[in-house]
Structure 1
């Protein structure tokens, strides 16, 4: 058996694998952190491709560019850049996509936005954010989806709600 050399990926030619703007952002995120480059190339590429900017270079972008990208692609911002967003922008993204907010940014949401997201998506709230919900919202989510409550948050339910969830599934 002969050894076959393995080819290494040449990141300088990422345009072969992705769009040109994404390729520049990948290179920027991986190799270049000079302010001049960030101000020019990353800003232009972020405007053209906000998804790639948030995934590959969010920590290199100026705040106003992150904000613009987040408003263009809220779910991507919540998954990849929630730690870089100001609280009001996290809440705005959560309003646009409560599922991603509950999965990736529940710790960053205001109590009001967390409650609104849980009300909109009780199953997701029970699975990913049950420990962060108020007792009232946890109870409401369990009432809305007893199976999810039993599967993901049974240890957090009151004895009465636990019994009600079990009864709902039996009947």
Structure 2
């Protein structure tokens, strides 16, 4: 009986070691103040690091939106010269999001992918309701298309973004925080 328990425990530990993220461990990831890592997943061969509010809010309740604006979903973009991410990392992030119909994890605020040491994140300003991974792809693609510089870097914001049933602002940059509705 004891030998069976040891074998089962050994098999369990071996399975855990192969399931660990290959590129970065959670301990190696720089987490901005006010955020925490809530999940690390893989989609289309891309490791996605999901960030949530550090204050422990575990809610996906929709931000108060009296009614959806007719322009919500237009993904109107604004480009920035700071916090630029490598476009190749952003393409990997977008491809990872596009290939997954999973529901967004509880209380996320951003998701990042790192390719060749270059991090790209998409973040959003409000709690979401009824959103799936691939809903993040449309605005991120619009920002990449409209804001990609000739040097291959991108940073921008999409206003009037419809994610699930929430109208919000979505950003694409090299950081998982700082996206707001302004």
Q: TM-score range by the shorter chain?
A: under 0.3
Of structures 1 and 2, the larger Rg is shown by: 1
TM-score, structure 1 as length reference: 0.26
State the TM-score, normalizing by the size of structure 2: 0.25
Highest RCO, 1 vs 2 (Cα 8 Å, sep ≥ 6): 2
Q: Which structure's residues are more often helix, by fraction?
A: 1
Q: Which has the higher strand share?
A: 2
